[in-house]
C-alpha cells in the first residue's frame, strides 16, 4: 500500500471522527431559550417574568426547578437584583418593590438581564430588557354626565427631572369576568391625554368597575400599568338572570338530557359486562361438574 493512500485513509478517518464528535457535542448540550418580560405595576413595583424552555426530541419543553439570576446593568457595571426558580411551566417571577435601585447609563436607560447558567445537558442562556423610568398617573372625573380619565405621564431624566411624555398611545381596559376587556386607546402628548369613558360598560351589582391604563410593549419605557376603581358601570338592578343558561346555576335542559343519556349508556355497559361475567362463571361450574 502506498504512502499517499495511507495518508488519505487517515485523513478520512480523522474527518469522520470530527463529525461524530460534533454530533455528540450537540446531543450532550441541548439548547435552552429564555424569555423575559417586565411590568411596572400600579403600586410602582416592578415584576419580571421569565419563561425557560429547552430543546428535546419532542420539541421545546418547559424547564422545571431552574435557577434564574437577575442583574441590573449599565455602563459595564452589574449588580444582582435577586433570583427566582422556575415552576412546572418553566416560568418564574421576580417582584421588586417601589424604591428598588437600578443602575442607569448617561441617558437614564436601565438594562435588566436574566441569566440561566445551565442544568444537566441544557446549555446556558440569557435575556434582557431595557427601559427608561416613566411616571404614570391617572385622574378620574365626572362632569355634566360625562366621565373622563386624564392620563398624566412624564419621563424621569438622568438627573431626576420630570420630562413630559410625547406622542405615545396608551390602552385602556376594564376587568371582565375572566380577563381584561379593551375599551379604547388614548393618545398622550405633552405629558397629558384625556379619554372619554363609554356609558354602556356593565359593572357589578353596584356599578363598580376596575379600570386599567397600560403602556404595552414599548421599546423605550417597557410596560407600565396604572389601575383604579370607579362606579361608572351600568348597575344590574332589575336584571333577571336566565334560569337555564351556561352561566347560571341551572344548566340548560339539552345539556342535562345529554348527560343523562351518556351516563345511562356507560353504566348499562358496565351492567351488561357484570351479567356476562356471572353467566360465564355459572357455565364454568357446570362444565367442571360434568
Q: Does 236 fall in a domain? A: no
- % the chain with pLDDT above 70: 84
Q: Residue range 84-89: average pLDDT?
A: 95
- pLDDT, residue 243, reads 60
pLDDT at 187 over 90: yes
* Domain limit, last residue, from 188, 205, 230: 230
Residues 128 and 154 placed together within one structural domain of the fold: no
Residues 54 and 84 placed together within one structural domain of the fold: yes
Extract the C-alpha cell encoding 72: 441590573
Residues 125 and 173 placed together within one structural domain of the fold: no
pLDDT at 19 over 50: no
Residues 168 and 121 placed together within one structural domain of the fold: no
Q: Which of 112-121, 156-165, 230-239 has the highest mean pLDDT?
A: 112-121
* Domain limit, last residue, from 214, 230, 246: 230
pLDDT digits (tens, 9 = 90+) for 263-278: 999 999 999 999 999 9
Q: Does 290 fall in a domain? A: no
Residues 149 and 211 placed together within one structural domain of the fold: yes
- pLDDT, residue 214, reads 96
Distance CA 129, CA 35 (A): 10
Q: Does 5 fall in a domain? A: no
Q: Does 117 fall in a domain? A: yes
Average pLDDT, the chain: 85
Q: Does 241 fall in a domain? A: no
Extract the C-alpha cell encoding 41: 405595576
- pLDDT, residue 234, reads 78
Distance CA 162, CA 236 (A): 43
- pLDDT, residue 29, reads 62
Min mean pLDDT across 125-139, 169-183, 233-247 is at 233-247
CA distances from 167 to 153, 164, 261 (A): 11, 10, 61
Min mean pLDDT across 4-8, 103-107, 166-170, 230-234 is at 4-8
- pLDDT, residue 205, reads 76
More confident residue, 169 or 22: 169
* Domain limit, last residue, from 230, 254, 273: 230
- pLDDT, residue 245, reads 59
- pLDDT, residue 4, reads 45
CATH of the domain at 165: 2.60.40.10
Nearest CA among 242, 268, 171 for reference residue 212 = 171
Q: Residue range 113-135: average pLDDT?
A: 92
Residue with cell 353467566: 279
Residues 147 and 122 placed together within one structural domain of the fold: no
Residues 156 and 84 placed together within one structural domain of the fold: no
Instruction: Tell me the pTM.
Output: 0.68
Q: Residue range 134-153: average pLDDT?
A: 92
Residues 121 and 180 placed together within one structural domain of the fold: no
Q: Residue range 130-141: average pLDDT?
A: 94
Extract the C-alpha cell encoding 177: 369576568
Distance CA 139, CA 206 (A): 21
Q: Does 188 fall in a domain? A: yes
Number of domains in the chain: 2
More confident residue, 176 or 9: 176
Residues 103 and 168 placed together within one structural domain of the fold: no
DSSP output for the chain: --HHHHHHHHHHHHHHHHHHHHHHHHHHSB-EEEEEEEEE-TTS-EEEEEEEEEEETTEEEEPPS-EEEEEEEETTEEEEEEEEE--TTSEEEEEE-TT------TTSEEEEEEEE--BTTBPPEEEEEEEE-EEEEEEEEEETTEEEEEEEEEEE-TTS-EEE--SEEEEEEEE-SSSEEEEEEEEEBTTEEEEEPPS--B-STT--EEEEEEEEEETTTEEEEEEEEES-SBP-TTPPPPSSSTTSSSPPHHHHHHHHHHHHHHHHHHHHHHHHHHHHHHHHHHHHH-
pLDDT at 66 over 80: yes
- pLDDT, residue 13, reads 53
pLDDT at 20 over 90: no
Cβ atoms of 234 and 202 closer than 8 Å: yes
Distance CA 284, CA 82 (A): 72
Residues 62 and 116 placed together within one structural domain of the fold: yes
Q: For residue 96, what are the domain limits?
A: 32-132
- pLDDT, residue 9, reads 56
> pLDDT-based confidence at 45, cuts 50/70/90?
very high
Residues 154 and 205 placed together within one structural domain of the fold: yes
Q: Does 186 fall in a domain? A: yes
Q: Does 27 fall in a domain? A: no
- pLDDT, residue 15, reads 47
Residues 123 and 157 placed together within one structural domain of the fold: no
Amino acid at each position: 500500500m502506498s504512502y499517499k493512500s495511507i495518508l488519505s485513509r487517515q485523513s478520512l478517518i480523522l474527518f469522520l471522527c470530527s463529525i461524530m464528535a460534533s454530533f455528540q457535542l450537540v446531543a450532550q448540550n441541548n439548547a435552552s431559550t429564555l424569555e423575559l418580560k417586565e411590568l411596572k405595576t400600579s403600586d410602582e413595583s416592578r415584576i419580571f417574568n421569565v419563561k425557560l424552555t429547552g430543546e428535546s426530541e419532542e420539541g421545546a419543553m418547559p424547564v422545571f426547578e431552574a435557577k434564574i439570576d437577575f442583574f441590573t446593568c449599565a455602563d459595564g457595571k452589574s449588580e444582582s437584583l435577586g433570583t427566582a426558580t422556575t415552576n412546572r411551566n418553566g416560568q418564574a417571577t421576580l417582584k421588586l418593590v417601589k424604591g428598588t435601585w437600578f443602575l442607569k447609563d448617561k441617558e437614564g436607560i436601565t438594562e435588566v438581564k436574566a441569566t440561566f447558567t445551565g442544568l444537566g445537558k441544557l446549555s446556558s442562556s440569557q435575556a434582557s430588557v431595557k427601559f427608561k423610568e416613566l411616571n404614570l398617573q391617572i385622574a378620574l372625573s365626572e362632569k355634566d354626565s360625562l366621565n373622563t380619565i386624564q392620563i398624566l405621564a412624564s419621563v424621569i431624566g438622568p438627573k431626576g427631572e420630570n420630562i413630559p411624555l410625547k406622542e405615545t398611545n396608551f390602552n385602556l381596559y376594564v376587568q371582565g369576568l375572566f380577563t381584561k376587556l379593551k375599551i379604547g386607546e388614548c393618545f398622550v402628548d405633552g405629558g397629558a391625554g384625556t379619554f372619554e369613558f363609554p356609558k354602556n360598560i356593565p359593572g357589578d351589582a353596584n356599578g363598580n368597575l376596575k379600570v386599567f391604563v397600560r403602556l404595552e410593549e414599548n421599546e423605550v419605557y417597557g410596560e407600565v400599568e396604572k389601575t383604579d376603581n370607579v362606579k361608572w358601570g351600568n348597575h344590574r338592578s332589575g336584571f333577571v338572570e336566565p334560569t337555564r343558561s351556561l352561566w347560571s346555576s341551572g344548566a340548560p335542559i339539552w345539556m342535562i338530557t345529554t348527560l343523562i343519556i351518556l351516563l345511562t349508556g356507560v353504566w348499562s355497559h358496565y351492567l351488561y359486562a357484570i351479567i356476562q361475567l356471572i353467566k360465564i362463571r355459572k357455565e364454568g361450574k357446570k362444565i367442571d361438574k360434568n
